[in-house]
């Protein structure tokens, strides 16, 4: 099912793993608002929460399950009946519910946290999936800390999970330890060696501790993953998760390389990012890829000159394709006469070459103090300091 399928499914976990970002908690109404926007964005699955964790989490999953009808709604549960019953109770009214059952897979976690042997972990995984499949066939199994697990054990665990009914098997790099080549190789191995893998979807879930979450996600996709788990703005536990906007736009912009597609309406990315930022009161860094305020802003004179001649000289995607503002030329001390002339022409002026040169000189003086000059400042400079000097 996976190897030749060009469709990559986007599983958004902003409302669950994303919310684990320090300071990013959301109340159920805020989660519902964001879930409705994620539905419009075109994600395939929304992980709405971890219902056993708190009554607020339970309530949020329940509200989203009732009201978001066009996409799958997932809830997280540890591999035990209490968690699974609770997750199902919250999810049961969803149009297309999914249970995501997880258990640790690395020896570090088994020894120090779970205090269980590998065979006990396999037994628990199987027993919980058998329990969960009484509720739904739409079952996902996540092997926590798979990035550091011994790969033959991971394969064995996935084989057992698939035989017990998992339809999606997920490889989380829980602590962001993997590097792209290594993770790609792990996916190649799992795809080649795991019995039954051709009947299910192989999924990747990366954290950004080494700043590699997007690169690791793409390496996994290149090697057979067909579900990507991401969060808007890359929020999440510690350094965050793979940023949805980055993974999606990498696949879209480099379709010539990956040959894959998602169902994301990319022109809604910018607004979705802004909505999340407003809800959690966490500003998007200006230099954030795809959705940062500077992502389509060109300041250097050479870049502005090229852009004005032909956009593709310095832009690999258009601001419109992600719904970012079209106002992308900020004038600063590195800008040159082409950008200034173009901005003035855009305001309806027809400046002479001498006037442009004088305007450049004046705005550079101003920009040396405040760094960025808006379009209104340029007009003021032009009218008061150039034409009526």
Binding residues for Zn ion, rule: CB under 5 A, are 17
249-to-78, 243, 261, 291 alpha-carbon distances in Å:
32, 10, 10, 11
**C-alpha dihedral (274, 278, 282, 283), degrees to nearest 10:** 50
Q: Is 102 in the site for ligand KIV (CB under 6 A)?
A: yes
Helix (H) or strand (E) holding 31: helix 28-41
Residue number, 170 or 266, with CB nearest to ligand KIV: 170
Q: How far is the CB of 105 from Zn ion (least distance, A)?
A: 13
Residue in the structure block whose two tokens are 């009946």: 81
Could you give the CA distance from residue 320 to residue 328 in angstroms, rounded to a whole number?
Answer: 11
* SS3 of the chain: helix, strand, coil, percent, to 5: 50, 15, 35
Which two structure tokens, joined as six digits, stand for 272?
A: 């979705």
Q: Is 205 in the site for ligand KIV (CB under 6 A)?
A: yes
Q: Is 109 in the site for ligand KIV (CB under 6 A)?
A: no
Q: How far is the CB of 81 from ligand KIV (least distance, A)?
A: 18
Q: How far is the CB of 207 from Zn ion (least distance, A)?
A: 6
Report whether 145 contacts 172 (CB < 8 A). yes
18 binds, among ligand KIV, Zn ion, none (CB under 5 to 8 A by kind): none
Residue number, 168 or 330, with CB nearest to ligand KIV: 168
Q: Is 366 in the site for ligand KIV (CB under 6 A)?
A: no
Report whether 184 contacts 202 (CB < 8 A). no
Q: How far is the CB of 75 from ligand KIV (least distance, A)?
A: 12
Could you give the CA distance from residue 233 to residue 14 in angstroms, rounded to a whole number?
Answer: 9
362 binds, among Zn ion, ligand KIV, none (CB under 5 to 8 A by kind): none
Burial class (CB in 10 A: 0-12, 13-18, 19+), 91: buried
Contact pattern for ligand KIV over residues 53 through 92, marking x by CB under 6 A: ----------------------------------------
For the CA atoms of the chain, what is the radius of gyration?
25
Contact pattern for ligand KIV over residues 125 through 164, marking x by CB under 6 A: -----------------x-x--------------------
Q: Is 227 in the site for ligand KIV (CB under 6 A)?
A: no
Q: How far is the CB of 216 from ligand KIV (least distance, A)?
A: 12
Q: How far is the CB of 142 from ligand KIV (least distance, A)?
A: 4
Could you give the CA distance from residue 228 to residue 204 in angstroms, rounded to a whole number?
Answer: 5
Q: How far is the CB of 53 from ligand KIV (least distance, A)?
A: 11
Contacts to ligand KIV from residues 159-198, by CB under 6 A: 172, 174
Could you give the CA distance from residue 142 to residue 203 in angstroms, rounded to a whole number?
Answer: 9
Which two structure tokens, joined as six digits, stand for 156?
A: 């064995």
Residue number, 24 or 367, with CB nearest to ligand KIV: 24
Q: Which residues bind ligand KIV (CB under 6 A)?
A: 17, 102, 142, 144, 172, 174, 205, 207
């Amino acid at each position: 099912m996976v190897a030749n399928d060009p469709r990559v499914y986007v599983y958004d976990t902003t409302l669950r793993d994303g919310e684990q970002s320090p300071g990013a908690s959301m109340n159920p109404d805020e989660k519902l608002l964001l879930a409705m926007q994620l539905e419009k964005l075109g994600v395939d699955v929304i992980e709405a929460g971890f219902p056993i964790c708190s009554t607020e989490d339970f309530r949020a999953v329940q509200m989203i399950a009732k009201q978001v009808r066009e996409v799958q709604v997932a809830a997280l549960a540890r591999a035990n009946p209490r968690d699974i019953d609770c997750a199902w109770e919250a999810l049961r009214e969803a149009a297309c519910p999914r249970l995501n059952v997880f258990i640790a897979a690395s020896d570090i976690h088994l020894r120090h946290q779970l205090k269980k042997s590998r065979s006990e972990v396999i037994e628990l995984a199987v027993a919980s999936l058998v329990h969960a499949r009484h509720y739904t066939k739409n079952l996902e199994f996540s092997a926590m800390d798979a990035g550091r697990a011994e790969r033959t054990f991971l394969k064995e665990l996935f084989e057992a999970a698939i035989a017990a009914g998992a339809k999606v098997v997920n490889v989380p790099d829980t602590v962001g330890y993997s590097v792209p080549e290594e993770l790609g190789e792990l996916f190649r191995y799992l795809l080649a060696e795991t019995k039954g893998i051709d009947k299910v979807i192989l999924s990747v879930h990366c954290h950004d501790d080494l700043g590699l979450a997007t690169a690791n996600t793409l390496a996994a996709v290149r090697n057979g993953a067909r579900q990507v788990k991401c969060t808007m703005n890359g929020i999440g536990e510690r350094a965050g998760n793979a940023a949805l906007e980055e993974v999606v736009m990498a696949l879209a912009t480099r379709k010539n390389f990956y040959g894959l597609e998602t169902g994301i309406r990319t022109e809604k990315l910018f607004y979705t990012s802004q909505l999340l930022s407003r809800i959690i009161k966490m500003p998007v860094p200006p230099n954030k890829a795809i959705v940062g305020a500077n992502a389509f802003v060109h300041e250097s004179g050479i870049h502005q000159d090229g852009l004005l001649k032909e956009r593709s000289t310095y832009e690999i995607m258009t601001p419109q394709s992600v719904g970012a503002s079209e106002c992308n030329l900020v004038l600063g001390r590195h800008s040159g006469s082409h950008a200034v002339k173009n901005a003035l022409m855009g305001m309806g002026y027809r400046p002479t070459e001498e006037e442009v040169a004088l305007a450049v000189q004046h705005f550079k003086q101003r920009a040396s103090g405040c760094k960025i000059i808006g379009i209104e400042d340029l007009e003021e400079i032009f009218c008061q300091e150039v034409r009526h000097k």
